[in-house]
Chain A
């Protein structure tokens, strides 16, 4: 006990001493730890709230209970947008990985392209193409045959995609150039997007487009509405920023483990309050007032706190001044990421993980259709399960010391495989004994939650280290160009992620989620996709056997990055250039 008190006193003294100035060898004063709690907490809680309740995806409650679009329609829209999406993505990567700073001529060309796209997109949405289409034409016939879509609406959906990419592309260049020098690469978009995003969050609930009786019209209008909503981001930017808060990996993991983890308490609280509040609405989950008042209200509060605290936390990646940064040519960007072997290993892992793509969220089904929870009981159970993962996470620094990344990730995949196997057994053998089945599933979920938080933290930390490594080999982090790996795995993932929706359709799942009240259908809808997922988890252990990027190698990578930053900053000062964006560590 005396030892504990001694330690506590020491910690208190340490915090007081280094409240405003970091300790030698560290980069982050403890005052910033406090700011991380509020900034990341509010950003994370706001982002999770809108991600859970507002989205153009089948499992979103707004879609489930109000828009009621056919399940396959989401996939079809994805396919309509897919071919052109590849082109926009290439341009997007180039702009993002150059942080928006390109040669004048290149910039003008890109602005012209994006402006044209915006104009074309608006025209395609506004014009009624129905009278111009011949229903006996084979392409028209094909499109008319798709679920929730016809040829005329497909043109509008494509127009929406073109408009979205043009408009977002223009904003991307404009705001990056304007805000990155001041706010850094991760949190700048909060400042440009927060106001329009908040307006859209309110409009989503108030615009009565879900009442449109014709499903085809409802689909394209909803797609347009959500495209506009998605033009403005409110991602978990401040957490990413905080993960890059120090060039010292030990300090990074401390920030990740304590202030970031503690900051998630905002979300934990709101995850109890929102469902409990929903339980008080007349139609509970199906009440539109949830989306008119509750969700926008909660979002507004967190958006305001986020904006207040965002300036108080900093990213500290050792990097040259923007004037001296490495300019990434298109092909160099692609070859740069392709020469990163750790991206390849994680790509293979991701590919195997895609075996479960397209399945419905098992926990949603468990809570809403097996247990029939709502209100406070729902909140408490969800929070209990989620909370069980928190205590182990505080020991992440210990696990990083004790085990290698390879060992942790292999354990993680095996624990998921075993956990989901037990869920399958419970679902198959308990059948209509819903309480027993649900109880077994919840116990397994708790086990999986407890065994997943540490690996996930370590994995996120490794993602940052891989970007450090990328910066070492290519001169930039190339976070966007890394998306090329998704293109190579695309054929397989797109194939797999449509197999499960088709299986679900066969078992009765479409736009009406009530089918999950039918016991035998619910079991089929849940069990078969999970079974496929389990196979994936076992296979995912194999690529990790090849992992060899350890703490010592990362330490040297950071030393190289710091040295580059020092030298380039010195050169910039000698040449009389601006040194904004530079951090030497």
Chain B
């Protein structure tokens, strides 16, 4: 009984009525609670008001101060690596520049009115040549919408694959010839020995359009389109390339890609959202001897490598592939008007048994399409032969 009482001690009790005299309704104090304070002056009200105002002003000032401090960003942020060189840590495009050099630490100097008469801009970048840059941090450039050209200096040794993430207008990355670690081929960033492609700038097609004299993309049914496709929408990786780096071709406006027959790895998000990518070819010596789909030498296809590339229609996994990352071909198939488009079936050179024994597959590596109310993975056609 006692236990039951204990258990229900927080039970809500029925309403009560208090017989409070009419002249005490605004002052009646409930035992254990504070007394009401209604339409009466507070004790020391003046001092209390002053203290409250001071407290509020301080609180408001601090709120604004902390907030402003937190969103203010320097144009350039560098980190001393302790070996006489610096890591380019973060770039915020506070001056709307379209071109930037990554060789020495930069500082923005805003011009006075008189000075600016001789310049196009209201600022100049001042280089501190005692502070060479040797590394570019991941996400150093992030979602910049204005930068078009990046020039990499001779001392840069480390560039993360994610350094130029989502620079929507980036047309080209040029590397100083004296750099021993990196190089560029017509604005596309590679390691010096060309074994790895690091970054195909998102807006590289604009650079190519200008280079080949196009103002806009010709209509697909026009006679010029074939040449345009060859000049602007086709890219051939050099024979030396072994690795397509992380995010290397993400968002790239490419229709045809030629991979060398020596390529061994396509890293995470390598061709992520290259939504115009329709044809993957592999070639042995020149693009003229190309065969369709991934190269025979390939061993790894990492996560999201081809995600959202819905213009692709054929995918052949050669027998040397040992690893396919999760979601490697995610959303490469879709249903429109009851008909499947994109990669509707994946062709695998190995037999089913060999594939399961040899290849490590990540979750949901195949594309999925709407099937009744849910989604269904595309079929895998084992022991397939490569299409001619």
A residues adjacent to B (C-beta < 8 A): 25, 70, 72, 75-76, 78-79, 82-83, 86, 134-136, 141-142, 144-147, 215, 247-250, 253, 276, 279-280, 282, 326-327, 331-332, 334-336, 338-339, 341, 372, 374-377, 400-404, 432-435, 469, 472-475, 484, 487-488, 490-491, 494-495, 498-499, 501-502, 505-508, 510-512, 514-515, 517-519, 521, 548-553, 555-560, 562-564, 567-568
Contacts and interface: CB of A to CB of B under 8 A. Distances in A.
A401 B71 contact: no
A553 B303 contact: no
A335 B48 contact: yes
Contacts of A558: 15
Contact of B16 (A375, A432, A555): A555
Given A70-B143, A560-B28, A377 B374 contact: yes
B62 to A, nearest CB: 4
A517 B375 CA distance: 20
B304 interface: yes
Interface in B29-80: 30, 32-39, 42, 45, 48-49, 52, 55-56, 59-60, 62-68, 70-73, 75
Interface of B: 7-8, 10-20, 22, 25-26, 28, 30, 32-39, 42, 45, 48-49, 52, 55-56, 59-60, 62-68, 70-73, 75, 90, 92, 94-96, 110-113, 116, 122, 138-139, 142-143, 145, 162, 165-166, 246-247, 250, 268-269, 272-273, 303-304, 307, 325-327, 330, 336, 362-364, 370, 373-375
A563 B138 CA distance: 68
A553 B7 contact: no
A555 B32 CA distance: 13
Given A375-B373, A557-B33, A564-B25, A494 B18 contact: no
Nearest to A70: B143
A555 B15 contact: yes
26 contacts: A76-B71, A78-B67, A134-B113, A144-B95, A146-B71, A146-B73, A336-B37, A372-B330, A432-B325, A434-B327, A472-B30, A473-B37, A475-B26, A475-B36, A484-B56, A490-B60, A491-B63, A498-B67, A498-B71, A512-B165, A517-B269, A518-B246, A551-B12, A555-B16, A556-B33, A564-B25
Given A72-B71, A488-B55, A518-B162, A276 B26 contact: no
A331 B13 CA distance: 36
B110 A75 contact: no
B10 A400 contact: yes
Contacts of B59: 487-488, 490-491
Contact of B142 (A473, A505, A555): A505
A326 B39 contact: yes
Contact of B10 (A76, A517, A550, A560): A550
Contacts of B12: 249-250, 253, 400-401, 551, 555
B16 A404 contact: no
B22 A567 contact: yes
A270 B75 CA distance: 46
Given A215-B145, A553-B33, A282 B336 contact: yes
A147 B62 contact: no
Contacts of B166: 510-512, 514-515
Contacts of B304: 517
A515 to B, nearest CB: 7
Contacts of B364: 372, 434-435
A141 B11 CA distance: 63
A125 B310 CA distance: 42
A494 B45 contact: no
B70 A502 contact: yes
If over half of B's interface residues share one DSSP class (helix, strand or loop), that class is named, otherwise mixed; here it is loop
Contacts of B370: 279-280, 375
A495 B18 CA distance: 48
Contact of A435 (B67, B75, B142, B363): B363
Contact of B303 (A432, A488, A549, A552): A432
A564 B60 CA distance: 38
B268 A518 contact: yes
Contacts of A25: 14-15
A456 B28 CA distance: 32
Contacts of A514: 166, 250, 272-273
A560 B363 contact: no
A508 B10 contact: no
A559 B63 contact: no
A511 B143 contact: yes
Contact of A335 (B15, B20, B42): B42
Contacts of A336: 37
A145 B26 contact: no
B43 to A, nearest CB: 11
Contact of B94 (A145, A487, A557): A145
Contacts of B17: 559, 562-563
**Of A215, A553, A564, which is in contact with the most chain B CB atoms at under 10 Å from its CB?**
A564
A111 to B, nearest CB: 26
Which A-B residue pairs are the 10 nearest by beta carbons?
Answer: A145-B94, A498-B70, A491-B62, A490-B63, A495-B66, A510-B143, A475-B38, A135-B122, A508-B139, A559-B18
A506 B73 CA distance: 12
Contacts of A519: 268, 303
Contacts of B95: 144-145
A6 B65 CA distance: 66
A334 to B, nearest CB: 7
A490 B110 CA distance: 34
A253 B12 CA distance: 10
Contacts of B90: 506
A202 B337 CA distance: 27
Contacts of A339: 34, 37
B108 to A, nearest CB: 9
Contacts of B326: 432, 434
Contacts of B28: 560, 563
A403 B113 contact: no
A332 B92 CA distance: 48
Nearest to A68: B143
B38 A474 contact: yes
Nearest to B16: A559
**Of B12, B138, B269, which is in contact with the most chain A CB atoms at under 10 Å from its CB?**
B12
Nearest to B12: A250
Contacts of A553: 30, 32-33
Contacts of B55: 488
